[in-house]
A and B are shown apart, each in its own frame.
Chain A
């Protein structure tokens, strides 16, 4: 009896911590979104959401484009990685991960100095006699920032699922006369779906909710949901900020619930192995 009691007890500090600092804060978001500045119950915040629908749509749209571009660029990279020799793999993986260790703010700031009207690219183009191309403060620059910052999040899950694919499966397909393209389409792609699904969530979630990238590379023209939440809190409109956070949270959890349908198989497979 005594043994069971004490071993149950070790988890308790964490359960209390999780209740206070994970569960209660989520309830706080709910509480603030259903009250006004004086703490009285109201549904006005939810009604006011209509005014932010354009921002929400733009955020989802840019986030989705960035995710798709990430997937298209990362897929061949992950494939090449998974097929190269052990030493090359280790070095290349390190090189893919390394930029992630530099703060996102610095990486984004660097792109700003590259893309500016008087920035690096335009200075180089000017020397070639090509007039300045306006790149900063466009939707393209925002998407570029998202793709750049979150691409390793796509490469990693794709790579790890591709290394799990049994080489004999591919050889079997080749022995049975499948062409390289057929192997890719009928064997590798279907087997890599769980990796694609987790890559999509890992890129889409930070892209949709970003507020630094859009501020630095999008200027004032591309205000995303994250910027709006940030603005609400700096302008002391806590309740509206909470409501927008609630919307973002629900959106992301829904998106993850859908994506989990594809990754669930992978978890079971991992346990079997």
Chain B
């Protein structure tokens, strides 16, 4: 890299990481100022861990993320298996509908789902329908396209003769699915699951519209925390999230570079 390129990359990285660095540095601040560093302290971390409401929303977030990612992965993988067998016209129709939540701004997806829930509520005269179930349904819905779009290419790349060969050799259909199809689309399923899980954890806008006071996720909690102007325990929370993400990414990266070796051995 030339010196000019290096400088440019450095400036971009500075821009990208300055706000994160500020969050981290001031999470250790002794005072509640976010502009003057008065001394090192862990009091905001202590405060964060004593904040039962925030810890509860962290649990809620993980619960919704796991459930929605698992359900979306199963439903989406089945969907991909069905879609590839549809006629051209049918595929086009289903994929256009599937792409809708990807193309629509989050706010429109959130609003449209809330309107559906509100409509059903007025129809059946219920009250306070917005809560855990509506958030879960919304998360499954916006996760599904990502699962389908990561499984579909793997299915299309698969050699169709493989399944036929298995069946010719006397393998029953269900066994052929688990022994032949599933292993070859597994990387797509895993990618889809990871994307679904992370999108669910990160989502604020859609959850914001389909949530009620009875069930809050972490991003919704952060939203209400940032309404007050100074709240250094947010900085502590961000720092912990940043460290968790960093560790996770490093593990994923190491795993990605590792499996190549055993695979080569296996084919021999």
Listed in ascending order, the chain A residues whose CB lies under 8 Å from chain B are 3-4, 6-15, 17-26, 28-29, 31-32, 73, 76-77, 80, 84, 88, 90, 92, 94-99, 101-107, 109-114, 116, 118-120, 122-123, 148, 151-152, 205-206, 208-209, 211-212, 216, 226, 229-230, 233, 238, 241-242, 245, 248-249, 252-253, 256
Q: Which among A15, A24, A98 is the interface contact of B245 at CB below 8 angstroms? A: A98
A212 / chain B contacts, CB cutoff of 8 Å = 204-205, 223
Interface residues of B in 73-126 (CB under 8 A from A): 75-76, 78-79, 81-83, 85-86, 94, 97-98, 100-101, 103-109, 111-116, 118-119
Closest B residue to A11 by CB, please name it: B82
Instruction: Report B69 CB to chain A, min CB distance, Å.
Output: 15
Provide the bound-state CA to CA distance between A205 and B253, in Å: 30
| Interface contact A105-B249, CB-CB below 8 Å | no
Enumerate B34-68 residues with CB–CB distance to A below 8 Å.
34-36
B8 pairs with A29, CB closer than 8 A: no
| B205 CB, nearest partner CB in chain A, Å | 8
Q: Is the CB of B144 within 8 A of A80?
A: no
Q: Is the CB of B9 within 8 A of A22?
A: no
Task: Find chain B residues with CB under 8 A from A152 CB.
Answer: 16
Q: Which parts of B226-247 form the interface with A (CB within 8 Å)?
A: 226, 234, 237-238, 241-242, 245-246
Take A107-B19, A248-B107 as given contacts and tell me if A22 and B101 are in contact as well, using a CB distance cutoff of 8 Å: yes
Chain B residues, Cβ within 8 Å of A98: 245-246, 249
Kindly list chain B residues whose C-beta atoms are within 8 Å of the C-beta of A106.
Answer: 23, 222, 234, 237-238, 241
User: Which residues of the partner chain B approach A120 to less than 8 Å between Cβ atoms?
Assistant: 22, 34-35
In contact, A13 and B78 (Cβ under 8 angstroms): yes
Interface contact B20-A102, CB-CB below 8 Å: yes
Q: Tell me whether B141 is interfacial, beta carbon within 8 Å.
A: yes
Tally of B interface residues using CB under 8 Å? 73
Contact of A28 among B1, B23, B85, B115 (CB under 8 A): B115
Where the two chains meet, the residues of B that have a C-beta atom closer than 8 Å to any C-beta of A are 1, 5, 8-9, 12-13, 15-20, 22-23, 26, 34-36, 75-76, 78-79, 81-83, 85-86, 94, 97-98, 100-101, 103-109, 111-116, 118-119, 137-138, 140-141, 144, 148, 173, 198, 202, 204-205, 209, 218-219, 222-223, 226, 234, 237-238, 241-242, 245-246, 249, 253
CA of A110 to CA of B103, assembled, Å: 28
A14 with B78: CB separation less than 8 A: yes
Give the distance in Å from the alpha carbon of A273 to the alpha carbon of B128 in the complex: 52
Note all chain A residues with C-beta closer than 8 A to B249: 94, 97-98, 101
Q: Give the distance to chain A from B193, nearest Cβ to Cβ, in Å.
A: 16
Contact B75–A25 (Cβ < 8 Å): no
Q: Please report the C-alpha to C-alpha distance between residue A23 and residue B50 in the assembled complex, in whole angstroms.
A: 43
